[in-house]
A and B are shown apart, each in its own frame.
Chain A
């Protein structure tokens, strides 16, 4: 089942912060975050594994709440280069054999203005 992302779109000024949420209706083992710019391939940002780890990548960090089956992506002091569509991909074991089978959310469009 497809995870649900919120909000659907965010408009920011440079330097502002944003949070993008990803919720699933089923148990998760990992959440993968990607950013896709128009006409380009999705680019990997980070993976969060079962256990509630919070990972960071420069000014972008994320958390994974296993109990709530949710992940949040935090963008701090946004830059123009952060503009794009952010997707979460969830990996939930179905019978223990579905490693790597990512189900992606519908995406969150982030626009950063000068």
Chain B
């Protein structure tokens, strides 16, 4: 079974530029998550989708970050404009269903973003 796919793996941009990350979850997984992991810290949830609807985006900086999952499968996370503090690894994860307590989340390899 293929895992969670993400691209690009690495991205270097100047501050105030825009950047987009793509994620394709495990086939059949209804729930998709985007996390931000700053060096030396644990992953922090940015947004959670159930199919193509947003379940939780309370920690997404909506003035510069946006995400969509139009057809309930793959997803795009965008930052516009980027700031220095956005330098981090952006992890995508997916799980089979949302409604069960203790549902396993499977992570992709992440996109390492460096903002100069």
| A and B interact physically | yes
Binding site for B on A (CB under 8 A): 2, 29-30, 32, 34, 40-44, 47, 49-50, 87, 89, 91, 98-107
Give which listed residue, B43, B100, B101, B106, contacts A44 with CB less than 8 A.
B106
A100: B residues at CB distance < 8 A? 31, 33, 48, 55, 95, 98, 103, 105
- A-B pairs with beta carbons under 8 A, tally: 67
Q: Which residue of A lies closest to B58 (CB)?
A: A101
- B19 at the binding interface (Cβ < 8 Å): no
Binding site for A on B (CB under 8 A): 4, 31, 33, 40-45, 48, 55-56, 91, 95, 98-110
Q: List 29 A-B contacts (CB under 8 A).
A: A2-B42, A29-B101, A30-B101, A32-B104, A32-B105, A40-B109, A41-B108, A47-B102, A50-B101, A87-B43, A89-B42, A89-B43, A89-B105, A91-B101, A91-B102, A99-B100, A100-B31, A100-B33, A100-B48, A101-B45, A101-B48, A102-B43, A103-B45, A104-B42, A104-B43, A104-B44, A105-B42, A106-B41, A107-B42
